[in-house]
């Protein structure tokens, strides 16, 4: 047994659950020897291995071992049993910074303090070759004194992930916070993309809403790519200049962290803090992070790895697919736009990295195999309709193809007829596998 009467590994007392995803749960815990409060994330090892996420977990551990800083959640220890992986983390009693924004914007001094602490933490990460890649208020926690703590390095990248040109090519993050170069699926500089996300966070803190937001996903992407946004009248004038320099769509001319720290607005009220030494985390962390990799023979089940504060992420063959990138967003509500195969829904949307021509060709092949009549309209809207009504009613489907880039399309599939069983069978068994295949 991994736990006995609420005690983990005879070392930590488990308290109430403070967060959860589909495949991980986070509990408040107490070190039985020192009495120190901790957060304990419990991950199902078999599910992680089935999803091919062990490399990502090792990367997260490696990143957190490198970044000992006052404004970064610390990883105290990693333990493993035959069935579970346990992350013992610093406990942030104040919760998410996101919760403070529910009531609206922050006062300028409060926003500046959080931004100063954020930049201090991210600058240190970059000095250690760590790039967070998912900065947003949900991943910024607060301790019991109200100080900011950067958390969730599950999507982080290290210097070793860069190619020879010094760029990163794996797209990930939350759409409303990611830099234009990430959306455009070109190689990008991890430092510059993190800086952009910090700028979006600062805008949200001072404005109370996102700089880039639109009910149409593609229009939001266009705004991000163009760096098109408006300041509210209440936005502090000095901060406007800084945000404009950060939210520069050209990464080559985007302001650096060193330049941010030299601006008068940033330096106002700045409190210097002693830097933590980069002392290695518990030896148990290093030993266990290697040992839990060797259990590949264990029985597994199909699932994904999830971290508290971040929507489920699935990474296979080193690449996040576009659907998973979009589904990460809590900063902009996309829940009505993307469904995950709910049987009572009449539509589903997902992403494909195939060209429009290839998508249309495969849809035509599917229609032919199902003996459906295919009607097209400018290659954007395709309708499939059954020639005869079945026992469950008529089968009629609309497929819309929305171009984001030449090789990235949003596919929208709607059920028009009464045959919902046939609709979901053709979607799940034919359409999605055919178009998801290259993701």
Annotated binding site: 41
Distance from C-alpha of 58 to C-alpha of 42, rounded to nearest angstrom: 15
Distance from C-alpha of 146 to C-alpha of 151, rounded to nearest angstrom: 15
- Burial of residue 37 (CB within 10 Å: 0-12, 13-18, 19+) is middle
Are 122 and 156 in contact, with CB atoms under 8 Å apart? Answer: no
Q: Is 230 left (phi over 0), alpha (psi -120 to 50) or beta?
A: beta
SS3 417: coil
**8, β-bridge pairs:** 3, 12
Buried/exposed 275-309: b ≥16 CB within 10 Å, e otherwise: eeeeeebeebbeebbeebeebeeeebeebbbbbbb
Are 204 and 248 in contact, with CB atoms under 8 Å apart? Answer: no
| 134 has catalytic annotation | yes
Are 339 and 413 in contact, with CB atoms under 8 Å apart? Answer: no
Residues 6+ apart with CB under 8 A from 66: 128, 129, 130, 158, 278
Q: Is 347 left (phi over 0), alpha (psi -120 to 50) or beta?
A: beta
Q: Which residues are annotated as part of the binding site for ATP?
A: 41
| Closest residue by Cα to residue 311 from 19, 14, 5 | 19
Are 8 and 39 in contact, with CB atoms under 8 Å apart? Answer: no
Residues 6+ apart with CB under 8 A from 275: 69, 70, 124
Annotated catalytic residue: which of 134, 194, 312, 419? 134
Q: Is 79 left (phi over 0), alpha (psi -120 to 50) or beta?
A: beta
**Kind of pairing between the strands at 140-142 and 12-20:** unpaired
Catalytic machinery residues: 134
């Amino acid at each position: 047994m991994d736990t006995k009467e609420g005690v983990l590994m005879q070392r930590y007392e488990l308290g109430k659950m403070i967060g959860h995803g589909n495949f991980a749960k986070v509990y408040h815990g107490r070190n039985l020897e020192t009495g120190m409060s901790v957060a304990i994330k419990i991950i199902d090892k078999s599910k992680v291995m089935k999803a091919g996420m062990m490399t990502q977990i090792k990367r997260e551990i490696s990143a957190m071992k490198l970044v000992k800083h006052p404004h970064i959640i610390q990883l105290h220890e990693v333990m493993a049993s035959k069935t579970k992986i346990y992350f013992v983390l610093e406990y942030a009693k104040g919760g998410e910074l996101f919760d403070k924004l529910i009531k609206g914007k922050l006062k300028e001094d409060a926003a500046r303090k959080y931004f100063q602490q954020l930049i201090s933490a991210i600058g240190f990460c970059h000095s250690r070759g760590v790039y967070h890649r998912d900065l947003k208020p949900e991943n910024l926690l607060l301790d019991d004194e109200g100080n900011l703590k950067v958390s969730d390095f599950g999507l982080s990248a290290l210097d070793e992930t860069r190619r020879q040109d010094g760029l990163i090519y794996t797209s990930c993050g939350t759409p409303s916070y990611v830099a234009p170069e990430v959306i455009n699926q070109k190689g990008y500089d991890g430092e510059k993309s993190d800086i952009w996300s910090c700028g979006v966070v600062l805008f949200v803190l001072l404005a109370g809403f996102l700089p880039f937001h639109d009910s149409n996903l593609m229009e939001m992407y266009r705004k991000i790519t163009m760096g098109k946004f408006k300041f509210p009248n209440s936005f502090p004038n000095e901060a406007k200049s800084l945000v404009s320099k950060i939210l520069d769509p050209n990464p080559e001319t985007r302001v650096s962290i060193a330049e941010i720290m030299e601006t008068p607005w940033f330096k106002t009220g700045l409190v210097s803090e002693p830097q933590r030494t980069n002392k290695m985390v518990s030896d148990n962390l290093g030993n266990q992070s290697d040992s839990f990799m060797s259990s590949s023979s264990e029985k597994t089940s199909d699932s994904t790895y999830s971290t508290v504060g971040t929507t489920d992420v699935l990474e296979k063959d080193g690449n996040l697919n576009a659907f998973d990138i979009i589904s990460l967003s809590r900063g902009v509500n996309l829940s009505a736009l993307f469904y995950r195969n709910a049987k009572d829904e009449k539509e589903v949307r997902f992403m494909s990295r195939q060209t429009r021509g290839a998508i249309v060709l495969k849809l035509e092949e599917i229609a032919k195999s199902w003996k459906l009549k295919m009607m097209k309209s400018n290659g954007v809207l395709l309708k499939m309709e059954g020639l005869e009504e079945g026992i469950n009613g008529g089968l009629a489907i609309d497929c819309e193809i929305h171009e984001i880039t030449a090789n990235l399309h949003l596919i929208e599939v709607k059920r028009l007829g009464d045959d919902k069983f046939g609709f979901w069978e053709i979607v799940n068994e034919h359409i999605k596998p055919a178009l998801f295949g290259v993701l």
